[in-house]
Amino acid sequence: MGYDDGAGDFTFAASLDKAVEIGMMTRASADCILQKQYALHRGDLVDLSVSALTTPLADGSATLAESLAKKGVFTWEEGRAQGLIGGGQESYVHSSLRNVSAPIPEQSASSGAVSRVTKTYALPSGSVSADVITVDTSAPGVSVRAAMVNQKLGASAPFSSIVSASSADVIVNANFFAAYSGQDKFPVGHVMADGTFLHGVSGLTSFGFTGSGAVYVGRPAVFFYVRGGRNSWACYEMNSKTQGSDLSVVYTPAFGGSVPIKIDGTAATVAGGVITDVRAVTAGETVAIPANGYVMVFGNDFTSTSWYRVPAVGTSVTLTPGLTDSDASGFPMEEITAMVSGGPRLVENGAICTTLEPGFQEARFTSAVTSRTALGKLADGKLVIVSTGSASIQQLRELMLQLGCVEAVNLDGGGSTALAYQGKLIRSPGRELTTTLQIFTH
C-alpha cells in the first residue's frame, strides 16, 4: 500500500494502530486482536482483505484495488462487480463485534448534571453497544467548551495529553479533519472556542452552545463582518484554505503567522483594531498576520462589485460574526460561545434524517460499520453524547432517535473516536486529535 516502516511511516509493533489511523479497521476490532480475546476466523481474513483493497494508498493516488486494476491484476468491471471499486472504503469489524447476541450488562454513573450509561441497545437494524452521556447544560456550574490544540489550526496532540491537560468531566472528539500523512489537519466546518471563531466555513450541521447552557442545532451560514466608519466588509469565511477571485476571507492568528496568497486581489491588515495596511497582492505572495489582529483577503472579482469600498488606512474597525439573511437556523450569534460541526445529520425535528451532505456520501460515512461519535439534543434541551465502537450510520440514526433526540449529528469517527469520562480514557483514538468538545461541571 506504499507505507514504508524504514521511512518511519509505521512500525510492525504498532501496525494495527496504523490500520486504525487510515480507517482500515475499527479501534474496537484492533483491540480485540491485540488483547487476544477472540479468534481470527477465515471470514475475518476475507473481510480484512476487502478492507485493505478499498483503502487508499499512502500517496492518496488510488485505492489498493484501483491500483491493482491499473496493473491488470483484474479488470475495472470485475472490481466494481465485487464492490471493491466505486463503493467507498470498508472498515474491518471483528466478527465478535457483529450481530451482538448477548447484550453487555448495563452500567450507570452520575455526577448530578452529567450521567453516563453503558449498555447494548436493541435497534431495528441490529444491536449496538454504546456509551451514552447526558448533560444538563443549563444546570449551575455546567459549561460546554470546544477546544483546538494550542487554539491553532493544524496542531494535534495525543488524546491522553488532551485529557491530562484538561479538568473537564467529559471530553469527546469533534470535527472531522484532514488526518492522514502529509495533510494539514485543518477541521471541516465551524469551530468556535471561548466565544471566538477559530475556523468558519459554512455548510455543515453545527451544534452551538451559549454561555447560559442553551443548545442550538442547524446549519448557520456565518459571515464575518468587519465594520468601520460608514463602511463594512463581509468576509465569507474565516481561516479557510480556499481563496477565489469572487471570495473574501479573513485570517486570524489561529491560522498562523502568515497567509499564502493564492489569487490576485487586495489584502487589508488590521492590528489593534485599526486598518494599518491595504495593498494589491498577487498569487504566490505571503502576508503576515499580526498577533493582535487579522488580514482580509479579497479577490479581484469581489473588489470589482458595486458594494465594495476600498478600506482606508487608519480606520478603526471591529470584527463580528453574523448570520446571513437567508439563514433560518436561529443561532443567536451574539450569545454563542462554543460551536462544532459534523455530518451527516442523523435526526431532524424529531425524525430520522437520511439526507447526506456533500462530502459525506462515501460508504465510510454510511453503510460501513465502524467506531462512531454523535451529538444529540433532547426535547427538554439536554445534550446527549454517544460513543460506540461499532455502528453503521443507520444504526446511529435509530439509536439517537430511541434515546429521545429531536436533533442529532454524526461527528468524526473511525480512528478519531475518543471519549474520556471523569479523567478516565473510555475510548482511545488511533491518531492524534485536533478538535474536542469538553464538558465542565465546576
Residue 296: left if φ>0, alpha if ψ -120 to 50, beta else—which one? beta
Please state, rounded to an integer, the average pLDDT across all residues of the chain.
90
Confidence bin at 225 (pLDDT 50/70/90)? very high
**Percent of the chain scoring above 90 in pLDDT:** 66
Output the pLDDT for position 326.
Answer: 66
Output the pLDDT for position 106.
Answer: 76
For residue 400, the surrounding DSSP H or E stretch is: helix 393-402
Residue 7: left if φ>0, alpha if ψ -120 to 50, beta else—which one? alpha
pLDDT in tens, 156-186: 999 999 999 999 999 999 999 987 767 789 9
Output the pLDDT for position 100.
Answer: 44
Output the pLDDT for position 5.
Answer: 84
pLDDT in tens, 327-361: 666 789 999 999 999 999 999 999 999 988 888 88
For residue 439, the surrounding DSSP H or E stretch is: strand 435-440
Output the pLDDT for position 119.
Answer: 94
Dist. CA 103–CA 416, nearest whole Å: 25
Flag the least confident range among 34-48, 128-142, 389-403. 34-48
Per-residue pLDDT for 195 more than 90?
Answer: yes
Output the pLDDT for position 318.
Answer: 98
Beta-carbon contacts of residue 14 (< 8 Å; ≥ 6 apart): none
Instruction: At 408, list the grid cell.
Output: 442529532
Per-residue pLDDT for 37 more than 60?
Answer: no
Output the pLDDT for position 39.
Answer: 63
Summarize the confidence of residues 405-419 as an average pLDDT: 95
pLDDT in tens, 113-155: 999 999 999 999 999 999 999 999 999 999 999 999 999 999 9
Per-residue pLDDT for 40 more than 80?
Answer: no
Output 203 or 238, whichever has higher pLDDT.
Answer: 238
Confidence bin at 92 (pLDDT 50/70/90)? confident
Of 257, 305, 298, 304, the closest CA to residue 281 belongs to 298
pTM higher than 0.85, yes or no? no
Output the pLDDT for position 333.
Answer: 92
Spatial contact of 19 and 13, defined as CB atoms under 8 Å apart:
no
Per-residue pLDDT for 101 more than 50?
Answer: no
Output the pLDDT for position 296.
Answer: 98
- Sketch out the chain's domains with CATH numbers: 5-97 (no CATH), 107-219+329-440 (no CATH), 222-323 (2.60.120)
DSSP 76-142: HHHHHHTTSSSS-PPPB--GGGSS--SPPPPEEEE-SSEEEEEEEE--TT--EEEEEEEE-TTSTT-
Dist. CA 375–CA 408, nearest whole Å: 6
